[in-house]
Structure 1
Amino acid sequence: MKTLWLVRHARPLVAADCCYGRLDVAVDPQATRQAARSLHQALAALQQGCVIRHSPLRRCEQLALALQGLDASFTSTADARLLEMDFGHWEGRHWDAIGEETIAAWADDLALHAPGGGESLAHMLARVNSALQDARAESAEHIVWIAHAGVARCVQWLLGHGAALPHSTQWTLPAPRYGQWMRVGLPP
Structure 2
Amino acid sequence: MSTLWLQRHAPVVAEPGLCYGATDLEADAGATLDAARRIAPLLPAGTLLCSSPLRRCVALADAIAALRPELPVRRDARLAEMDFGAWEGRAWASIPREDFDAWTADFADLRVGTHGESVRAFMARIAAAHDEWLAQRRDTLWVTHSGVLRAVTLLQRGIRCPAAAGDWPGGEMPFGGWLTFGHPPAA
Instruction: Give the RMSD, CA atoms, in angstroms.
Output: 1.5
TM-score, normalised via structure 1 length: 0.92
TM-score, normalised via structure 2 length: 0.92
Please tell me whether the aligned partners of residues 13 and 27 of structure 1 are also in contact (alpha carbons under 8 angstroms): yes
Unpaired segments of 5 or more residues in structure 2?
none
Q: Look up the SS of the partner of 1:27 in the other structure.
A: coil
Structure 1 letter corresponding to 2:41: Q
Structure 1 letter corresponding to 2:132: D
Stretch of structure 1 that moved more, 98-107 or 157-166: 157-166
Partner of 1:167: 164
Please tell me whether the aligned partners of residues 9 and 178 of structure 1 are also in contact (alpha carbons under 8 angstroms): yes
Per-residue deviation, 1:174: 4.1
Partner of 1:178: 175
1-structure distance, mates of 2:172, 2:6: 9
Please tell me whether the aligned partners of residues 176 and 182 of structure 1 are also in contact (alpha carbons under 8 angstroms): no
Per-residue deviation, 1:139: 4.7
2-structure distance, mates of 1:53, 1:112: 28
Partner of 1:121: 119
Per-residue deviation, 1:166: 2.9
Identity across matched positions, percent: 39
What is the aligned counterpart of 1:150 among 147, 150, 166? 147
Matched, 1:16 2:13: no
Q: How many residues align?
A: 184
Structure 2 letter corresponding to 1:36: A
Q: Look up the SS of the partner of 1:115 in the other structure.
A: coil
Per-residue deviation, 1:156: 1.0
Matched, 1:135 2:145: no
Per-residue deviation, 1:62: 0.3
Structure 2 letter corresponding to 1:27: A
What is the aligned counterpart of 2:63 among 61, 66, 70? 66
Partner of 2:35: 35
